[in-house]
A and B are shown apart, each in its own frame.
Chain A
């Protein structure tokens, strides 16, 4: 146990991290060449998607300490922006997924200005409704969104294998961009300011940190990546409806993935996503009763809060105890 721990520790927290990340990236990029099984590629693609949402969530929830329960709102908004622009205007999703990110940023700005004034639990409750509100809105804007019947997107012009590979790489790029952004954050003044806000907002403000402005910027950044991944998802899935893309489960995944891996760290949400998404998928194959994954998740969430408050990364860095 202690050997494994020190080995993982060597990989994660020392200078070797760079090489580990490099090797993993190389492996990921070459996977479609190594395996012809669409199943595995699809599995990883969706994993990247959830990981991207978790990494995005981590910027506001982990680094800044404002736990959002509504991040699915940004994902869904991105999905719909891209879908609508394709269906109604024929614009390429690989470009418009970025626009979806911009729409999410604008939405986050409108939502963030009032809600980020709220502290802790109140912010969490305020964001809880976001996904539901948008779900209702999109259900009822029939002419634009297709309402409850959803939107069918044109099929991508490639054979299935090529198509899965293209989306795999696209999703990986978005995922990588989100991780690199967090890496930059971890080493920037901006990131340090966010951590100070998380630790003690009053102290941060009186130390000269413009807390209102930086919190809002963090929220916008954290909305962007989930929305972009949502845009790619809509084209990949070729069909979306409000129930699927505003599913509150997606918000919950982001929170639990991040917390298990270690929120407020670069790799925490990534590690959490890899472990928990694999567990969830396996559970779904083994036990077919509906809702099993949600139960497994809730149990894991409770266990993490009690036993691993700093997540796996925190545990490996020797910060296992509650403070």
Chain B
């Protein structure tokens, strides 16, 4: 079943067409989104999560129209996201960062005690339990990215949107986040994953969408997309796969 449907979406910033008639569906697998800098990938996430309203078009989550709803409502309906540059609650502890999302981003009724247990489980899962009581400001970039995932998971999302989680990490850290996201997907959470680190995304994604100048220029399996002349031209010699 398709979890997310994006239909004929447009997003303009003044004269700049950040998204032009974008159409796609996402299911329970891992969907990769690639494209050159400024292609509109993050804008697409902002439109899906309600940060921006599309100028035209609709977004459906499990056949429910969520276009134009506020970000906190969309979060509660089951879409979590991580930010390209992590945006933790910098003065709060790692634990509080996740707990806060748990308090407000969930629709199911959980007691505080259960939520605390679940928060700890998730910190364990992403590998941040040792940092439980440290302020988010003390985390390095890798840990901040893990925190983004933990904060995303506490609300039991249907769909996790991941924005460039591998960029800026060492190869070992990249492997760590790749296997983590695969594990998230194995729990039954659909993943849409924007990534520049081709080595990571080409291995993990079942299907890939390529955005260029706000348009989808190619779509298909990683192998198919990597050989597409349009894609190769968009990247102008940048190495793919």
Contact = CB atoms under 8 A, between A and B. Distances in A.
A218 B75 CA distance: 22
B212 interface: no
- Scoring B90, B99, B137 by chain A CB atoms within 10 A of each residue's CB, the highest score goes to B90
B105 A203 contact: no
A42 interface: no
B121 interface: no
Nearest to A198: B91
Contacts of B36: none
A199 B103 contact: no
Contacts of A45: none
B151 interface: yes
A195 B92 contact: yes
Interface string B90-113: 111000100111011110000000
Nearest to B136: A199
B76 interface: yes
Given A202-B51, A206-B49, A195 B70 contact: no
B49 A193 contact: no
Interface stretch (A47-55, A122-130, A207-215, A275-283): A207-215
A205 interface: yes
A196 interface: yes
B96 A199 contact: no
Contacts of B70: 205, 210
A199 B92 contact: yes
Interface string B53-84: 00000000000000000111001100001010
B87 interface: yes
A323 interface: yes
A200 B136 CA distance: 12
Nearest to A209: B104
Interface residues of B, number: 26
Interface residues of A, number: 20
A196 B91 CA distance: 8
B218 interface: no
A237 B106 CA distance: 51
Nearest to A65: B91
A189 interface: yes
A207 B100 contact: yes
A192 B151 contact: no
A208 B90 contact: no
A238 B105 CA distance: 50
A204 interface: yes
Given A189-B103, A207-B151, A208-B106, A196 B72 contact: no
B88 interface: yes
20 contacts: A192-B92, A192-B96, A193-B100, A202-B87, A203-B87, A203-B88, A203-B89, A204-B89, A205-B51, A206-B49, A206-B51, A206-B71, A206-B72, A206-B81, A207-B104, A208-B75, A208-B106, A209-B72, A209-B105, A210-B104
Interface of B: 49, 51, 70-72, 75-76, 81, 83, 87-92, 96, 99-101, 103-106, 137, 151, 155
Interface of A: 189, 192-193, 195-196, 198-200, 202-211, 264, 323
Closest 8 CB pairs of A and B: A208-B105, A207-B101, A199-B89, A208-B104, A203-B87, A208-B75, A209-B104, A196-B89
